[in-house]
Amino acid sequence: MRIDLHTHSRASDGTDSPSELVRAAVDAGLDVLAITDHDTADGWDEAAQAASETGLTLVPGMEVSTRHRGRGVHLLAFLADPSHPELAAELARVRGGREARVPTIVGRLNDLGIAITEDDVRRASHGTAASGRPHVADALVTLGVVPDRTAAFDRYLGWGRPAHVDRYATPLEDMVRWVSEAGGASVVAHPWGRGGMGRPDEETLAHLQEIGLTGIEVDHQDHDQRARAELRAIARNLGLVTTGASDYHGDGKLDHDLGCNTTEPDELARLLEAADAAAAASGRVTPDVVNR
């Protein structure tokens, strides 16, 4: 069983359409795929339709932008009902912050002498509800300003670079609670990764677990072997689920091929049990796992 629980499509900043993502997962020999676009469930229907025409098991999820102690934290939310009122309102607020940021970033780039327009960014973002810096990066590539996304982040868009602009993100603890209330299970994405939440220690993770956190993403390209071993030990102590995933973005991120990290079947079973328990407790209608 090959299980990849963190991937992006063009519904956010990946470069494959949701159905292309599903086909790529089948081609990569995966048995289970989670689609986890940033702050939106927009890719779910197309991905579910595509998966139902194959044997691939599809887990609908999202990667939600949150904040904890002043730092950005990505929270994977699996099988939550996206129409849960607080969750829906908060996701809309996060996406609003993404939209509002685009003109500011474009203005900063213009000040640097780069002739980029908001339309250039909209063209690069394929109508996504979750426009992000990668789309600005793609527009800069199209304009010939930089060779690739990475260069755009290194020169202009990354933290501390001249066109970096902050945006709204949900307080982490609130989002952990809302995902549970919406019948889903949450997992901190790349907790010790680049540009993540620093190094949340065992005490912090234990507190998050008390309010509903199900697991942590241990096997991720941002974690070296030592970080993985330490995170796995913390998860074992606390009884948190551990996941592994590629964080695939199509052509948008190098060295993140589908299946480059995977989740153990037992851990997936525990994750799905946690989501089932949350759904039963909340009484909400949550999305189906396709080909479960």
Q: Is 152 helix (H, G, I), strand (E, B) or coil?
A: helix
For ligand AMP, the closer CB: 147 or 239: 147
Applying CB under 5 A, the span of 62-70, 100-108, 119-127, 177-185 interacting with Zn ion comes to 62-70
Residue 220 engages ligand AMP in binding (rule: CB under 6 A): no
User: Would you call 75 helix, strand, or coil by DSSP?
Assistant: strand
If one asks whether residue 253 binds ligand AMP (CB under 6 A), the answer comes out as: yes
SS3 assignment, position 91: helix
Element containing residue 93 per DSSP (H, E)? helix 85-111
Q: How far apart are CA 286 and CA 282, in angstroms?
A: 10
**Which residue matches tokens 């300003």?**
145
Backbone angles phi, psi at 34, to 5 degrees: -110, 135
Is residue 91 within 8 A of residue 65, CB to CB? The reply is no
102 Cβ neighbours under 8 A, 6+ residues apart? 118, 121, 131, 136
151 sits in which H/E element = helix 149-152
Site membership for Fe ion, residue 13 (CB under 5 A): yes
Instruction: Tell me the window of 42-50, 108-116, 182-190, 210-218 that interacts with Fe ion (CB under 5 A).
Output: 182-190
Region binding Zn ion by CB under 5 A among candidate stretches 56-64, 81-89, 191-199, 283-291: 56-64
- Return the residues of window 112-141 that contact ligand AMP according to CB under 6 A: 132-134
Whether the Cβ atoms of residue 58 and residue 291 lie closer than 8 Å to each other: yes
252 with 22: CB under 8 angstroms? no
Question: Judged by CB under 5 A, does residue 31 bind Zn ion?
Answer: no
Q: Judge whether 14 and 248 are in contact, CB under 8 Å.
A: yes
Residue 253 binds: one of ligand AMP, Zn ion, Fe ion, none (C-beta under 5 to 8 A by kind):
ligand AMP
Shortest distance, CB of residue 189 to Fe ion, whole angstroms? 5
Count, residues near Fe ion per rule CB under 5 A: 3
Cβ of residue 104: shortest distance to Fe ion, in angstroms? 19
Contacted by 10, from ligand AMP, Fe ion, Zn ion, none: CB < 5 to 8 Å by type? none
Candidate residues 38, 95, 220, 270; the one interacting with ligand AMP per rule CB under 6 A = 38
**Residue of minimal Cβ distance to Fe ion:** 74
Stretch of 12-20, 47-55, 60-68, 202-210 lying at the interface with Zn ion (CB under 5 A):
60-68
What residues between 235 and 274 interact with Zn ion by CB under 5 A? 247
For ligand AMP (CB under 6 A), the number of binding residues is: 10
Among 64, 73, 128, 153, binds ligand AMP (CB under 6 A): 153
Among 74, 101, 135, 256, binds Fe ion (CB under 5 A): 74
Q: What is the DSSP letter of 7?
A: B
SS (H, E, C) 216-281: EEEECCCCCHHHHHHHHHHHHHHCCEEEECCCEECECCCCCCCCCCCCCHHHHHHHHHHHHHHHHH
Can residue 192 be called a binding residue for ligand AMP (CB under 6 A)? no
| Least distance CB 61 / ligand AMP (angstroms) | 14
Interacting residues toward Zn ion by CB under 5 A: 63, 247
Interacting residues toward Fe ion by CB under 5 A: 13, 74, 189
